[in-house]
């Protein structure tokens, strides 16, 4: 899959279904030690406007384990914080780095990095999408079920946010049936839903509903995220009564497939979007999912840097 070499990864649909399958296979092989890759002499930059634990540490650990180096570029210590144009920063960093992961609010800023830098640019999260998370989610599902991903149904419960967007697009790309249950007024962006439905075609179903129990019925994966994303903390208390029916709990697990697994991209607010019993119970794969961020991103780095 040398066709991934040098490309940007701004959205999960920047890759094809075949390339997604390749990345998941590569991630599984790297995780199992069946394959090694060498990124020595390569430098990954991390430019994050938002706080991060899993994305920052998993990318850093992945690159170090591949033999490469990492520069964590604190935005407040760069000229970006003083208003240097993104197009200037992008072209300067292009001379220092081999690949750059950007975590920012505005997807237009991410696109500007991609427009002006020749090196691969990775979306490490924007307000619109979180594609790296979806690679880890699918790797975790692949490990949990003997059936092909195309035989599965994933149900997302909660806010129609960036994770919901990438799940919609990613499931449609992979041929996974996807259901998104949100309160009225908190649905995913219409443009993303339309894009997912077009991608899905007749291979899988894309369902939106405000009925969490109907969405969970028979599902193989129950997935949730915080009810107020980064930058929306002032809305958190107001949202609790609106989102309470969408809590991932034993009642919803009871109507899901008996083999269903629980996923959460973290950080979790226990007692809000997910119960203690669900996140710590036998059906939870949340910690495996978190570890898989590193393995999935190892595969992504290897492929984009041409080290595969």
Q: Cα–chain-centroid distance for residue 48?
A: 16
Please state, as a whole number, how many other Cβ atoms lie within 10 Å of the Cβ of residue 206. Answer: 21
Architecture of domain 2-129+293-304: 3-Layer(aba) Sandwich (3.40)
**CATH code given to domain 133-289:** 3.40.50.1370
- Each residue's pLDDT, cut to its tens digit, for the chain (308 residues) gives 569 999 999 999 999 999 999 999 999 999 999 999 999 999 999 999 988 999 999 999 999 999 999 999 988 878 887 889 999 999 999 999 999 999 999 999 999 999 999 999 999 999 999 999 999 999 999 999 988 999 999 999 999 999 999 999 999 999 999 999 999 999 999 999 999 999 999 999 999 999 999 999 999 999 999 998 766 777 778 999 999 999 999 999 999 999 999 999 999 999 999 999 999 999 999 999 999 999 999 999 999 999 97
Orientation angle between helical segments 86-94 and 107-116, nearest 10 degrees:
50
Q: Cα–chain-centroid distance for residue 100?
A: 17
**Closest to 24 measured CA to CA, from 143, 129, 125:** 143
- For 258-289, what is each residue's pLDDT tens digit? 999 999 999 999 999 999 999 999 999 999 99
- For 286-295, what is each residue's pLDDT tens digit? 999 999 999 9
pTM given for the model: 0.96
Separation in Å, CA 126 to CA 6, 92, 103, 130, 190: 21, 22, 6, 6, 17
**Closest to 12 measured CA to CA, from 29, 24, 2:** 24
The predicted pLDDT at position 81 comes to 79
Domain with CATH 3.40.50.1370 in the chain: 2-129+293-304, 133-289
Report, as residue numbers or ranges, the catalytic residues.
103, 130, 133, 225, 265, 293
């Amino acid at each position: 899959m040398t066709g991934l070499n040098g490309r940007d990864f701004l959205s999960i649909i920047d890759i094809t279904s075949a390339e997604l399958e390749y990345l998941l296979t590569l991630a599984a092989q790297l995780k199992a030690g069946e394959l090694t890759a060498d990124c020595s002499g390569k430098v990954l930059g991390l430019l994050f406007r938002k706080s991060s634990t899993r994305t920052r540490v998993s990318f850093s650990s992945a690159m170090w384990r591949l033999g490469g180096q990492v520069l964590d570029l604190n935005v407040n210590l760069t000229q970006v914080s003083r208003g240097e144009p993104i197009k200037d920063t992008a072209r300067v960093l292009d001379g220092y780095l081999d690949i750059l992961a950007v975590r920012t609010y505005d997807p237009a800023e991410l696109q500007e990095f991609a427009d002006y830098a020749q090196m691969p640019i990775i979306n490490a999260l924007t307000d619109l999408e979180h594609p790296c998370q979806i690679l880890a989610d699918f790797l975790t599902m692949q490990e949990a079920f003997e059936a092909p991903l195309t035989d599965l149904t994933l149900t997302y419960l909660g806010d129609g946010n960036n994770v919901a967007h990438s799940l919609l697009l990613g499931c449609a790309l992979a041929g996974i049936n996807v259901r998104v249950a949100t309160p009225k007024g908190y649905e995913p962006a219409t443009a993303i839903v339309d894009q997912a439905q077009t991608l899905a075609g007749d291979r899988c179903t894309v369902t939106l509903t405000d009925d969490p129990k109907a969405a969970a019925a028979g599902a193989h994966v129950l997935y949730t995220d915080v009810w107020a994303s980064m930058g929306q903390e002032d809305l958190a208390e107001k949202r609790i009564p609106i989102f309470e029916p969408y809590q991932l709990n034993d009642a919803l697990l009871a109507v899901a497939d008996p083999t269903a697994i629980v996923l959460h991209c973290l950080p979790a607010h226990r007692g809000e979007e997910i119960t203690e019993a669900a996140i710590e119970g036998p059906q939870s794969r949340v910690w495996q999912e978190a570890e898989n961020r590193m393995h999935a991103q190892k595969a992504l780095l290897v492929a984009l840097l041409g080290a595969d």
